[in-house]
Amino acid sequence: MRRRLFAALTILVAAAVPVSAQAQSQKPNFVVMVIDDAALMDLGIYGGEAATPNIDALATSGAMFTQYRSSPLCSPSRAMLLTGVDNHRTGISTIPEVLPPEHVGKPGYTMRLEPGVTTLAARLKPLGYRTLMTGKWHLGSGKGDLPDGHGFDRSFALDASGADNWEDKSYMPFYADAPWYEDGKPASLPEDFYSSTFIVDKMIDYMDEGDTSAPFLAYLGFQALHIPVQAPPEFTANYLETYRDGWEALQTRRWQRAQELGLVPAGAAQPALHPNLRKWDDLSEDQQRLFAARMAVNAGMLEAMDHHVGRLIQHLKETGDYENTVFVITSDNGPEPSTAEDPRFGPWLAANGYHIGLERIGEKGSYGFIGPEFASAASSPSYLFKFYVSEGGLRVPLIMSGPGISPGRVDAFAIVTDVAPTLLEMADAGPAPEGSISIDGRSLLPLLSGDATHVYAPDDAIGIEVSGNAALYRGPWKIVRNLQPWGDGNWRLFNLENDPGETQDLSADHPEVFEQLQADYAAYADRVGVLEVPAGYNSVAQVEKNMTAAVLKRNMPKIITFGIIGLLLLGGLIWLIIKVLRSRKKEA
């Protein structure tokens, strides 16, 4: 009798619970973590020098992708990651820092998520998800363009390409300050701020708010490893001797390790370092020590980030959410080549309390960077780095772990637009709201469940373009065009199956393949709305122009005020001189 009564009560309670609430309790949580500017082999599990045990554990228990591609720049990648839509169709074709005036305000180049572009947060929120975001945003600055305008319930967001990791201040003249916002309103940072610590702390705070029984989307945009490269000294100390033999040695080590791990075929050609890069042996001993230390900070910054990822994982285990959480860990693009060595940059650095020397390197006031040489070495077994569509700019890590994901390596091609549709299918999100821009990516769920070996067929053409640098994949083939200053604007053809380092241009040997891929790229560019960059476009030169324009615009009131005061003083001085001369003339 008691058993029957209990069963009856159970049925009545189940009937009283709304169907949506029952379904909600079964939906997985999502934690999406973006590393800024990490190379394919930076993480320990991919063969890197930095200790990343927490991320490595997720990779071991989940899917570790070896042929995943992103875009070569941060904002386009993040727009595609959060929407599943090609960067041009999101409105964020590139970043404001390199945007030529000819493209300003054009469709696809508004530097904001345009109408109809729907984020993961906006899709998951109606399903009962709590939508949370901390860290770098950089997807629009106007009214309604911050995370709270795109489906996030709670957010503490940096609306810039980067910022200092220790203080509430800008990292480049393009920005007057570090624009942090909480839930769309200007916010300040705590006194004990360190970016990776804070980004995780704030996310844990948000997770513990409200109805903690509801599923959540947690999006964390880490500042590691973006410039300025900064890390607590206890992490940097682990790598002070690791890079003392220089960038050529690092590139060779990673290339050899990549073969051992099967990231490239055994015997694959090692890509040459760009001829304009410095030789390690041409540096003085002091310069070598400084650059090795900068790279040590880079590794320390990654280990520090992994340490705080571990705190987040531990929190989820303590709350009981871990087993029902899907983790996504990736990088927005390859390693950062930019430096602060230009003497014209010196006065700004000094005025903002920065130094680029060895003293207390990586700590508060230190402006760290690894430069193009170590960036090129770090991208091994690939060629070039961030900004460019050679494999060093595009081929980055992707780890997905959690319920329903079979452990193991995934060697099938995948691209950044595939992440959003994968998570939406996991959440059983259903069709997009009416008026939404269609998704370009494909769900990776067949790969993650082990039901398929690929989601792209050999004849599928997948294009990428950012600021004139363009590429297209089709089966084993890839065409590439890189512009100045590290490219020459010419198209090249590579077979990545046996030449992943893009060492041998096969355009003359396979003209029919070359022509087919160029036609495929033209169709892609027309479909998504690519605008050709102006003749002679150079991204580095454009950054300098845009920074100068931003500084002048920001300081124009002061310039006008000082100009008027200067004219008044000059006028007064002229009047005084004339008065004195007239007085002397009368006396004479």
What ranges in 222-344 are assigned the alpha helix state H?
A: 233-236, 247-261, 285-319
Q: Are strands 154-158 and 180-182 parallel, antiparallel or unpaired?
A: antiparallel
Residue type, 147: P
Question: Is 308 annotated in the active site?
Answer: no
> Per the structure block, which two tokens stand in for 584?
């002397």
Residues 503, 491: Cα–Cα separation, whole Å: 14
Task: Give how far the C-alpha of residue 313 lies from the chain's centroid of Cα atoms, to the nearest Å.
Answer: 22
- Give the active site residue among 74, 103, 226, 307: 74
What's the rounded Cα separation, in Å, for the pair 516 and 520?
6
Q: Which residues pair with 588 in a beta bridge?
A: none
Which single residue is written with the structure tokens 């503490």? 156
74 is catalytic: yes
Q: Distance between CA atoms of 196 and 177, rounded to whole angstroms?
A: 19
Name the active-site residue from 88, 103, 138, 150: 138
List the structure tokens of 5. 């009564």
Distance, in Å, from the CA atom of 61 to the CA atom of 403, rounded to the nearest integer, reads: 10
CB 374 within 8 A of CB 247: yes
Spatial CB neighbours of 301, under 8 Å, sequence gap ≥ 6: 165, 196, 224, 225, 229, 230, 231, 235, 362
CA–CA dist 232, 193 (Å, integer): 12
CA atoms of 152 and 163, how far apart (whole Å): 22
Phi and psi torsions of 279, nearest 5°: -90, 140
- To the nearest 10 degrees (0 to 180), the angle between helices 195-207 and 285-319 is 10
CA distance 16 to 10: 10
Closest C-alpha among 453, 456, 431 to residue 442:
456
Query: Rg of the chain's alpha carbons, rounded to an integer?
Result: 26
Residue 14 bridge partners (DSSP): none
Where do the DSSP E strands lie in 204-251? 216-221
Cα–Cα dist 300/298, whole Å: 5
Q: Which residues are catalytic?
A: 74, 138
